Amino acid sequence: MNGELTFGERLDTVFAAYGHLCLGIDPHGSILDAWGQPDTAAGLREFGLRVVDIAVDRLGIVKPQVAFFERHGAAGYSALERVIREARDAGLLVIADVKRGDIGTTVEAYGEAWLRRGSPLESDAMTISAYQGLGSIEQVMVAADEAGKGLFVLAATSNPEAAAIQRAVLQQSSRAGSTVAQAITQGVIGWNQGRADAASRAFGSIGTVFGATTDLALAGIDIDAEPPRPGLPVLAPGFGHQGAEPGDLRLRFGSLSGGVIANESRSLLGAGPEGLADAIARRVDQYGAAVV
């Protein structure tokens, strides 16, 4: 990395400056209506750029939900490229919520699309699936580390239909006896601990996705254990509209709370362009009180 900051180091800086709130840029049709924008690629672009403009200097992380842009095809991707570029140029950390996953050169290509320096879609981190095993995304993990980027691996999500898989106990594995979610989490922690100077870093660059309304204990995640070093970044969708509140953060995440990125989208965006700044300010204060 030639002395440049790791993603974990940049995340630590953002936490210190702006706290743990992440604004999801999710252009649902109803949200676009509230912002006076049509559900077109042009409408998404104008909406996204306005959101970025309001977010700058108020919080430190945004998470575009790529699916809402992708449904408009090439024009939607063009809009997304512009939104990501403007956000990163303004100093925001951008987590591309793409949930890609595969094996071999295919998953490597996904990593190049979203994490390679100079890519039209270059982001600071991306969400990724390790359904085919953590080893299937190892080359993307290597590439992310080398480029100073981050990954958030799906581990314990909130959707009810995921529980049967994520809580299933492994039978044939070096982590036999662990749940799938627990094995992914421990694998990510182990990866971070194996990086150079890991013990001196506040956070690793590879994290997990834990739904904010998920019972982590049922998924085999011990939130009372001593926190790992470096800390585990946790992308936590589900705050706000889906039911979790800032005051729940420590109760739900325990010793992992210091690394939680609390994502809200509709609960903030619904305030419209006139109310978003105040809504962000209130939530930043509430999360700050919850994490301390």
- Other C-beta atoms lying within 10 Å of the C-beta of residue 5: 13
DSSP 8-state code for residue 203: B
d(Cα 80, Cα 66) in Å, to the nearest integer? 8
Token pair 């998470």 in the structure block, residue: 63
- The CA distance from 256 to 232, in Å, is 7
**Which residue, among 172, 175, 285, 182, has the nearest Cα to 225 in the 3D structure?**
182
DSSP letter for 25, please.
E
> Is the separation of the CB atoms in 209 and 166 below 8 Å?
no
Q: Rounded to an integer, what distance in angstroms lies between the CA atom of residue 201 and that of residue 19?
A: 18
99 is catalytic: yes
Choice among 88, 99, 241, 266 that is catalytic: 99
Cα of first residue to Cα of last residue in the chain, in angstroms, is 32
Query: With left for phi above 0 and alpha for psi between -120 and 50, is residue 168 left, alpha or beta?
Result: beta
What is the residue whose two structure tokens read 């325990």? 254
Task: Please check whether residue 49 is in contact with residue 25, taking contact to mean a CB–CB distance below 8 angstroms.
Answer: no
Which residues in the chain belong to E strands, given as ranges?
Answer: 21-25, 61-64, 93-100, 125-128, 150-156, 206-210, 234-237, 260-264
CA distance 54 to 23: 11
Q: Which residue, 137, 81, 84, is CA-closest to 111?
A: 137
Active-site residue numbers?
Answer: 99
